[in-house]
């Protein structure tokens, strides 16, 4: 196993991890920013106010993107398992 193979697998892993995290993190970030903006404008400082909308946003995001995320992860795992004989031999 060469160092280029290790770096390539690491890059592929980080790319897949980024692809899988973005559909969940972006809605949570946007909803959190909007709610904190509204809280700062109205001066309502309730910490639990942002939890329920974020939970709903992440749930909707997982509902719409979950199938794609699972397919991406399965494809990556199959490609990685298919490379094992080439890496070891």
- Determine the pLDDT at residue 47: 77
Please say whether the beta carbons of 53 and 35 come within 8 A: yes
**Positive/negative CA dihedral, 59, 60, 64, 65:** negative
- Determine the pLDDT at residue 84: 87
d(CA 29, CA 25): 6
d(CA 82, CA 59): 33
- Determine the pLDDT at residue 50: 82
Please say whether the beta carbons of 67 and 20 come within 8 A: no
- Determine the pLDDT at residue 2: 83
DSSP for 18-50 reads: HHHHHHHHHHHHHHHHHHHHHHHHHT---GGGG
pLDDT tens per residue, the chain (89 residues)? 788 888 999 999 999 999 999 999 999 999 999 999 998 898 887 777 888 999 999 999 999 999 999 999 999 999 999 998 888 87
């Amino acid at each position: 196993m060469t160092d280029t193979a290790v770096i390539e697998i690491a890059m592929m892993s980080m790319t897949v991890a980024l692809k899988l995290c973005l559909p969940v993190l972006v809605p949570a970030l946007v909803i959190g920013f909007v709610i904190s903006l509204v809280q700062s404008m109205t001066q309502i400082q309730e910490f639990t106010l942002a939890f329920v909308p974020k939970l709903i946003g992440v749930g909707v995001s997982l509902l719409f993107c979950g199938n794609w995320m699972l397919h991406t992860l399965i494809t990556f795992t199959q490609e990685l398992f298919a490379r094992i004989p080439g890496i070891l031999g």
